[in-house]
Amino acid sequence: MENIEYSVMAAVEEQHWWYVGMRHIAQTWLDQLPVHRAWRALDAGCGTAGNVAYLLGDYGPAYGLDLMRAAVQLGRQKTDAPLTQGSVLTLPYRDASFDLVTSFEVLYHRAVPDEVAALQEIYRVLKPGGWVLLRMPAYHWLYSAHDRSVHTRRRYTNKEVQQLLRAADFTIERSSYINSVLFPLILVQRLIERLRPSVPTSDSAMQLPSRLANKLFGAAMNFEARWLESGARFPFGLSILTLAQKPNHSV
């Protein structure tokens, strides 16, 4: 991403409805796993470490990795967890090191030209029976100015994400579109953006909105978390969340 995006991320990810809501949604599924305190968890592509600091620590010792030095430096101001600069294509960890790996909006990036290769690395560092929780942006036809600013290479369908995971030998446990309640609103926004392109600006799309908007959008995300917790799914949305497992018979 552009450096301004990392700075904005570090400043708002504790409060912004999107970051807080996405952590809540992820936690809904993670809490259903047979987690114990001896687990080791890695956030592969941790950004400024919001998920390491506020999510993964609940599931055992947490580690973070990000390609960009600026992100790692900002993350170290938030958590004492080990953060490493490195690529998801060559994870600097031993085989079967982790029980859980999360990767949120990472494999879509221009810096990851081969998603399956990255997933195979995640597979390698997971213990047999270990889990990966993957989040990807949905629908390439929604590609926007924000995607350009965060160096998005492509967006996906749910089926495509599952195909990538199966190509890396994972077994799919569950998968759903998410950020669905607000989908119509964002769709209209994207259509307006295409019909009336705005003047280029240095402002980030992830700036903290007004208190009222932040509260209302956060409520929508909380509803989604409760819906997913019940075992239900969403047929469309702005993102895709998929939980998959490395088979126990793997070596």
Q: How do residues 16-60 score in pLDDT, each as one tens digit?
A: 999 999 999 999 999 999 877 779 999 999 999 999 998 888 888
Secondary structure in 3-state letters for 66-95: ECCHHHHHHHCCCCCCCEEECCCCCCCCCC
Band (pLDDT 50/70/90 cuts) for residue 6 is: confident
The amino acid sitting at 116 is V
Distance CA 122, CA 166 (A): 13
Cα R_g (the chain), whole angstroms: 17
Band (pLDDT 50/70/90 cuts) for residue 190 is: confident
Q: Is 85 exposed, middle or buried (0-12, 13-18, 19+ CB in 10 A)?
A: middle
Is the pLDDT at 159 greater than 60, yes or no? yes
Structure tokens at 225: 């978390």
Residue 51, Ramachandran bin (φ over 0: left; ψ between -120 and 50: alpha; else beta)? alpha
Select from 196, 173, 223, 157 the least CA-distant residue to 25: 223
Q: Is the pTM of this model over 0.75?
A: yes
pLDDT at 202: 46
Three-state DSSP state, 177: strand
**What does DSSP assign to residue 198?**
P
